Amino acid sequence: MKFCIENFGCQMNDHDTEKMVHLLLSKGMERIQDVNRADIVIVNTCCIREKAEQKFYSLMGRLRKIKRKKGTILGVTGCIAQQEKDGIGEKLPFIDFSLGPSSIHRLGEAVDCAIAGERHLFDFSNNGCIDSLLIKPGTRRGKIKAYITIMKGCNNFCSYCVVPYVRGREVSRNSSDILQEIENLALLGVKEVTLLGQNVNSYNKARDDLPFPDLLRCINDIDSIERIRFITSHPKDMSLELIECFGSLSKLCESIHLPFQAGSDRILKLMNRGYTIEEYRKKISLLRERCRDIAITADCIVGFPGESEEDFAGTLNLVEDIRFDGLFSFAYSPRKNTVAATLPGSIPREIALERLAHLQKIQKAITLEHNRAMEGKITEVLVEDWSKNSKEEVTGRTRTNKIVNFKGSSGMLGGFIDVEIVKGYANSLKGEVRKPIGGHTC
C-alpha cells in the first residue's frame, strides 16, 4: 500500500512524521508525496496558531473529496487530534482514525483497523505515555543530519500556549538510550545531531540522570559526530553551566534559539514566562561573552491582550538592542483552553498586524546587516544537498545555522567545506570555495 503524510508545525512534528514514516515502511508500505495516488493519507497537525489550524481544516475538505472518489483511508495525528479528542470524530465524520502525539507508536494498529474497515479514535487520556518517545526512526546510510527527541511535553504553562495540554507534562528519555541512538546514527554517517524537546534546558530536571549540560558533554565525545544543536530553550532554564558549554564543547555549534516573546515585563508576567527583560538581556550578554560570534534567534508575539504602545515599544527596543540574527514573530491568536484567551484587552487584528509589519521590517534590516557583515569571511559549511535554485550550486549551513549556496560538485555533498562568503542576502549567503583554512571562531 502507498501512504502519504502531510505535516504541519514545528521540528517535533517533523520528527514525529519521520517516526511514522519509519513505522509504516517497516510494515512494507511505500511512501509517496501525492495525496491523489495514496491509499492512506495521514495529516500530522499543529494547533499552536490559528493559521495552522485553518490550513488543516481546509486540507481536510480537499481530502474528503479524494476519499469519496477513491476510498482513501484518512488519519489525523498530532496536536489537533489531542486537543479535539473524541470530538474530532464529530467534526470530521469521514476520517478513519486519529491519534494524539503520545500515541503515535500505535499507528500500525490504527492503520490495520482502518484497512479492516473499523473506525478508530484512540484513547487520548494517556498523554504522559512515554512509548512514542522511544521510537527510533532509523536512518538511511548517507544521511548527514538527524533529529533526536530527548524529552517531550512542558510544565511551564505559558498563558498563551496549548503545548502542556496537547503534549502533556515534561518527560525525559534516559540518557543511555539517547547516547546509544546517537552512536548508531554516527556509525551510519550522521555528522550533525539536533536534540529536540519543548524545553530541552529542563531535560532530566526532576530525575536522577544526566542533566542537560552533561548530556551535551557526552555527545561531544562521540566520534564522527561533528556538530551538535538543540531546540528549544527557555530563558528561565538557561543555566550558567549550559551557557559555559558554548565555547568549551568543540562540537556545540555557535547558535541558539532563545524565545523572548515580549519586550515588556508587564506582558511577560501576563504570559507567565517566569523571567524579566533584564534577566533575558543578562543571559544574552553572558552567551556573547562566552562565545563572541554566537548567532541568536528568537520567537516573539505581538498584540498579546493588553499590549499597549509602550509595551510594544519595549519589544522594538529589545530587538534593536540585541540585534538578533533572525526572529520568528507572530500576531497573537487566542488558543482554546489557555488562560490568555480569557484575558481582557484584546488588541484589534489590524493593530496587531500593523505592529507585526513594523517589527518585521526592523528585523529584516538587522538580519541583512548580519549577513552582509559575513562578506569576506571564511566559514565552514556542512554541505547538505544541491541547491534548489541552480543546477551548479550546492547548499549547506554554517555552524551559526546560516544557509550558504555556492558552486560545487557532487563530491562535496555530506562534507565540510571552507567557503568565503561573497554576498549576504536577507535569507541566505552566497559563497565561493577558497583555499581551506578550517576551524571556527568560538
> Using CA atoms, how far apart are residues 428 and 426, in angstroms rounded to an integer?
6
Nearer residue to ligand SF4 within complex by CB, 124 or 165: 165
The minimum distance between CB 160 and ligand SF4, in angstroms, equals 7
Measured from the CB atom, the residue of 107 and 163 that comes closer to ligand SF4 is: 163
- What Å distances lie between residue 358 and 282, 304, 312, 315, CA to CA? 26, 16, 10, 11
Minimum distance, C-beta of residue 39 to ligand SF4, in the bound complex (Å): 35
Tell the residue number behind the cell numbers 567545506, with chain if given.
417
Nearest distance from residue 232's CB to ligand SF4, in Å?
7
Cβ within 8 Å of residue 395, ≥6 positions away: 383, 384, 385, 386, 387, 388, 403, 404, 405
Nearer to ligand SF4, 199 or 398 (CB): 199
Shortest CB 162 distance to ligand SF4, Å: 8
Nearer to ligand SF4, 259 or 414 (CB): 259
Closest distance of CB 200 from ligand SF4, Å: 11
By C-beta, is 156 or 401 nearer to ligand SF4? 156
Can you tell me which residue has the cell 542537560? 212
Closest CA to 274 of 169, 201, 196: 201
Residues 399/380, Cβ–Cβ less than 8 Å: yes
Query: Cβ of residue 15: shortest distance to ligand SF4, in angstroms?
Result: 15
Minimal CA–CA distance to 249: which of 219, 223, 285, 224? 219
The nearest distance, CB 161 to ligand SF4, in angstroms, is 3
Nearer to ligand SF4, 151 or 347 (CB): 151
C-alpha distances in angstroms, 5 versus 19, 42, 320? 11, 5, 40
Q: How far is the CB of 254 from ligand SF4 (least distance, A)?
A: 23
Gap between the Cα atoms of 383 and 436, Å rounded: 14
**Number of C-beta neighbours around residue 23 at 10 A:** 18
Pairing of strands 30-31, 40-45: unpaired
C-alpha span between 416 and 413 (Å, rounded): 9
Q: Residue 274 CB, nearest distance to ligand SF4 (Å)?
A: 9
Query: Can you tell me the distance from the alpha carbon of 133 to that of 154, in angstroms, rounded to the nearest whole number?
Result: 14
Strands 378-386 and 416-424, how do they pair? antiparallel
Q: Which is nearer to ligand SF4, 163 or 270 (CB)?
A: 163
Contact 226, 191 (CB under 8 A): yes
Residue among 161 and 381 whose Cβ is closer to ligand SF4:
161
- Largest interatomic CA distance in the chain: 63
- Whichever of 196 and 382 has its CB closer to ligand SF4, that residue is 196
Report the residue number, 171 or 419, with the smaller CB distance to ligand SF4.
Answer: 171
Output phi, psi for 218, to 5 deg: -65, -40
Binding site for ligand SF4 (CB under 6 A): 154, 156-158, 161, 163-164, 198-199, 234
Give the position of cell 495516488: 37
Q: What is the nearest approach in angstroms of ligand SF4 to the Cβ of residue 328?
A: 12
d(CA 296, CA 259): 10
